[in-house]
Amino acid sequence: MSSPKVVKEEIVERNTRFLAVFVETKNACLILLSESEDYLGTLAIAVPPPKGLGEIATAPATSSILLGDRNIITARMFAEHVATNTNKIALVSVYLRTINEAEARPILLKLIEKIIKNRQSPPSSQPEKEGVSA
């Protein structure tokens, strides 16, 4: 049995650090997105869309909020995005302290795309380090 894959990433935009912690198991992904520090925020869950004949999605991903009320649109949107792109159950947490939800979406989406790209890279022999970009 393999252990879960863990990826940490960071982006600095608008003089603010945006952090992501990604944990992947065989059937699910958990992404914690936060501003400045690692926090658990509004938590959404999504299941991947059902597949029809030919492995083509026949409906959109289904999602729900499990915890919180501040960033529900962003949390659900990203949970559905991750579930669809990974074909796994996705739990996404969004914690924003100072930046509003609409302004944060493109920044957080960049962070999610960076994580998904890094999860597909072959593991290196060096210890894991947080990625930083400006």
Question: Any idea where the domains of the chain sit in the sequence?
Answer: 5-121
pLDDT category at 121 given cuts 50, 70, 90 is: low
Asked whether the predicted pLDDT for residue 7 surpasses 80, the reply is: yes
Asked whether the predicted pLDDT for residue 120 surpasses 80, the reply is: no
Contact indicator for 100, 9 with CB cutoff of 8 Å: no
pLDDT number for residue 54: 62
> What is the residue-wise DSSP string for 67-110?
E-SSSHHHHHHHHHHHHHHHTSEEEEEEE-SSS-HHHHHHHHHH
pLDDT number for residue 104: 95
CATH number for 5-121: choose from 3.30.230.90, 1.25.40.10, 3.40.50.970, 3.10.450.50.
3.30.230.90
- Taking the model in full, what pTM does it have? 0.82
Per-residue pLDDT reduced to its tens digit, 39-67: 999 999 999 988 765 666 677 889 999 99
Per-residue pLDDT reduced to its tens digit, 85-94: 999 999 999 9
Asked whether the predicted pLDDT for residue 113 surpasses 70, the reply is: yes
Q: What is the mean pLDDT of residues 130-134?
A: 45
